[in-house]
Structure 1
Amino acid sequence: MSYPYGGRSHYSVVIVGGGQAGLSLSHCLQQRGIDHLVIEKRSLVHSWRTQRWDSFCLVTPNWQCQLPGWGYLGSDPHGFMVKDQINDWLAGFVAHVKAPAIEGVTVERVSRVQGTGERDRFMVQTDTGLYTADQVVVASGGYHRPIVPRLAEKLPATVAQYHSAQYRNPAQLPEGAVLVVGCGQSGAQIAEDLHLAGRKVHLATGNAPRCARFYRGREVVDWLADMKYYDMPVTEHPLREGVRDNTNHYVTGRDGGRDIDLRRFAREGMELYGLLSGFDGGSFELQPNLRENLDSADATYNRINASIDKFIAAQGLEAPPPSVYTPVWEPAEERTRLDLAAAGITSVVWCIGFSPDFAWVDAPVFNGRGAPVHQRGVTNEPGLYFLGLPWLHTWGSGRFSGVARDAEFLAEAIEERKMGLRSSAMEAPSAPALRAA
């Protein structure tokens, strides 16, 4: 085969994934003069173009967009970039990094080829041929397979079904009522998008928490940044590694940013239910936990604000007076069935997330749930790393705000190992022959 980038088959480092994480690491490795190759299955930073709806905007303020050597460049640091602005900014980052990358190439398997001790290499099998590397970084993210429950197979063929990754705008859906399943960030924002467009929305909630957009005169993210929340490593979080399984708080940056209050939507005509659990006899089956879900979300909202109150008091800061959210609507009853035909539901949008798929990584670094076990991206398999995962190290690890710090950390680890490999090679009388693992 001919190798599409540089005509080489071996690199010191192969980075699998060309999103913001992989490109951030490429930037850090280039600064250290470490040769590497980025292999991207589709196109660089493609998910921001292909897996976001038309009205999508950031839920974190623009000032938190800080990729290596490429911060937010606009005039509204406390605003929230919309989809086209995000993609323009990322296109600038791609041009800034100039990563040695190949696109449209799928990595099918990563495995170790054993030599002697520190001379081990990795095989990186792709759909266009084989590469080898001294070290490999998996930077493909953790959102690979859209989750759609098996009960979806029971729905009539007349009902259009979409995953949140496929949703674009209300006009895409057929006329009629819409059932949105899940109220995390995507579910809550898509439900709002449909609601604002005048569509009849039925929302099956879950246990997602929520937070305020603004509190006591400032954006809540600004307060939390001052409180060093975004610098807290996973090892110091009260939930420890359990925080990686948490659903993100729902809030929006739309129209300058605001709270998302499902109770207000209900007061305006949106129909709310508990957790969706099944479909039988033409009706959706739902758990009687709507009140519990709403109360839990509000409790988190008030708890975050209370922590800000304590910070303000401890620092002796001047700020508008504190407040506590009180519900603007309460469910009259817990409805456990939703008749599809009677409600006029013609489409369902599944907003229950993604599952990771690391089956192509042939290494003993995964737990029983298929998640990689690591310390700040460094695994027990020498030379194998992960980058860009939620809470890899801090809250910002899977976002624009923290991936630069993680990339810098891994670049240092990679450089140290590279120096060790070089020393080992100089001491060895001859390079050992590689044998297949």
Structure 2
Amino acid sequence: MFDCVVVGAGPAGLSASAALAARGVAHVVLERGRAGETWRTQRWGSFRLNTPGWMNPALGAQERESYATRAEVVERLETLAADCPIREVTPVARLARAGAGWVLRTAAGDLRARAVVVATGDQNTPKVPALARAVPARVAQYHAGDYRTPGLLPAGSVLVVGSGQSGCQIAADLLGGGRRVLLATSPVGRLPCRYRGRGTYEWLVELGFYDQRPGDLTDPSLLRAPNPVIGGGGHSLSLQALARRGVTLVGRPVAIAGDRLTFDDSVHANIAAGDAFAAWARGLVDDLARRRGGELPPAEADPTDTPVEISPPATLDLRAEEVTSVVWCTGFDGDFSWVDPGLVGPAGQPRHDGTAAAAPGVWYVGLRWLVCRGSSILRGFPQDAATVAGEVEAYLGGVGPGHGS
């Protein structure tokens, strides 16, 4: 029997492994593929982090203002994994209670553990709307997790559905590849890259933005809001900026009949939603400056704020517009069908109460809003992992060298 098993060898699971090792907790990490599997298989070629190096402690030491590419992230995860007790290509088919402990069923046999840390994440199973089934068969369909480069898509125009982080960045990537792009928009906030002489992330960290807990929110619906958009590699990005570069903005797709696709009229409201969040973030900084009583550098001009005149079409003929591909940037869920039913809610997603503990002997790491806003980003993984490792150690009664079988 193992003292502890960690399920998942992405940055959250590797953070958990490092934290457990630091406390002397004997453990093993089970990974369905290779270390960092999601980063290997669900990121496009030009992907680059939109958080600077200092925001990504889960990836180890790095240049403060660097923005890692997908390949660099994978390389860092491989380096971190080399120091962890990982069994790769060992997917867990079932996690179930077994007396006072837990059993994890794998193709290689059952493993028993006194404690389990589930670090598989809740953003790695593609979500595609039912509308996708009505898209003509001649149009190739991809999810953001499948998209790699413009050159691998059939020649022609591309409809990108969803204007969150992935949708905006993939739209920009397609533009760079010489494609005509239509972007079905959604109401997502955005952040300026810099404001008043500093990176916006620096301000937000100082303001405690990522330390907010679910109970701090006046509107619980914010728990489901997508992360605000900021360009990969550290630059501002907005819907109006994409429109000026040649992207055709449309509303949310609501119906399709043959080649005729119908959209709602939400484009202007979606642009406004992005602008409102950017203004809110800047307002937080201005309030901080007033409280300090000191002077800050003046606000920089941000070209992504510049309005654009658009007349979004209400319908689109896919054939006439030569649309040959659709990229669904409609988000991800996590698959927890393998987890004991007592650990998940009615919708099949993890059940927890504002802490990382799911049940006696089981903890989560790497979920959105697990403990705070930062729980699901590279900045937050090590902090939550350290807390969990302490709780695991206490639960096990203060293990020494540990054991496993």
Asked whether 1:238 is paired with 2:211, we answer: no
- Distance (whole Å) between structure 2 residues aligned to residue 359 and residue 19 of structure 1: 19
Asked whether 1:359 is paired with 2:337, we answer: yes
1:43 matched residue in structure 2:
34
- Distance (whole Å) between structure 2 residues aligned to residue 135 and residue 277 of structure 1: 46
User: What is the DSSP-based 3-state SS (H/G/I as helix, E as strand, rest coil) of the residue aligned with 1:84?
Assistant: helix
Alignment of 1:31-180 (within 5 A): 31-67=22-58, 71-74=60-63, 77-95=64-82, 98-114=83-99, 120-180=100-160
1:214 aligned residue (189, 194, 204): 194
CA-to-aligned-CA distance 1:170-206 (integer Å, 9 cap, x gap): 1111111000000110000000111122210000011
Where does the alignment leave 5 or more consecutive residues of structure 2 unmatched?
401-405
Shift of 1:366: 2.3
Asked whether 1:191 is paired with 2:178, we answer: no
CA-to-aligned-CA distance 1:324-374 (integer Å, 9 cap, x gap): 975421333x53211101111011111001122111111313222222221
Contact 2:53–2:62 (Cα < 8 Å) also in 1:
no
1:392 aligned residue (358, 370, 378): 370
User: What is the DSSP-based 3-state SS (H/G/I as helix, E as strand, rest coil) of the residue aligned with 1:364?
Assistant: helix
1:5 matched residue in structure 2:
none
1:15 aligned residue (3, 6, 24): 6
Asked whether 1:335 is paired with 2:313, we answer: yes
CA RMSD, Structure 1 to Structure 2 (Å): 2.0
2:21 matched residue in structure 1:
30
2:323 aligned residue (342, 345, 358): 345
User: What is the DSSP-based 3-state SS (H/G/I as helix, E as strand, rest coil) of the residue aligned with 1:277?
Assistant: strand
| Code of the aligned partner of 1:247 | P
Contact 1:309–1:322 (Cα < 8 Å) also in 2:
no
Contact 2:25–2:399 (Cα < 8 Å) also in 1:
no
1:252 matched residue in structure 2:
231
1:406 aligned residue (372, 375, 384): 384
Asked whether 1:262 is paired with 2:262, we answer: no
The number of residue pairs the alignment matches comes to: 397
CA-to-aligned-CA distance 1:271-330 (integer Å, 9 cap, x gap): 101111221131112111111111111111111111111112212343222479754213
2:403 matched residue in structure 1:
none
Q: Percent identity?
A: 36
Contact 2:54–2:62 (Cα < 8 Å) also in 1:
no
- Distance (whole Å) between structure 1 residues aligned to residue 126 and residue 334 of structure 2: 9
1:415 matched residue in structure 2:
393
User: What is the DSSP-based 3-state SS (H/G/I as helix, E as strand, rest coil) of the residue aligned with 1:361?
Assistant: coil
User: What is the DSSP-based 3-state SS (H/G/I as helix, E as strand, rest coil) of the residue aligned with 1:42?
Assistant: coil
- Distance (whole Å) between structure 2 residues aligned to residue 411 and residue 295 of structure 1: 43
1:6 matched residue in structure 2:
none
User: What is the DSSP-based 3-state SS (H/G/I as helix, E as strand, rest coil) of the residue aligned with 2:29?
Assistant: strand
TM-score, length of structure 2 as denominator length: 0.93
Shift of 1:210: 0.9
Contact 1:79–1:253 (Cα < 8 Å) also in 2:
no
Contact 2:35–2:77 (Cα < 8 Å) also in 1:
no
Contact 1:109–1:361 (Cα < 8 Å) also in 2:
yes
| Code of the aligned partner of 2:51 | T
Contact 1:376–1:406 (Cα < 8 Å) also in 2:
no
Shift of 1:420: 8.1
Shift of 1:79: 3.1
- Distance (whole Å) between structure 1 residues aligned to residue 31 and residue 73 of structure 2: 20
Shift of 1:149: 1.9
| Code of the aligned partner of 1:261 | S
Q: Structure 1 residues 351, 149: CA separation in 2 closer, same or farther (over 3 Å shift)?
A: same
CA-to-aligned-CA distance 1:51-88 (integer Å, 9 cap, x gap): 11111111111111113xx63333xx123222222223
Asked whether 1:288 is paired with 2:265, we answer: yes
Asked whether 1:227 is paired with 2:207, we answer: yes
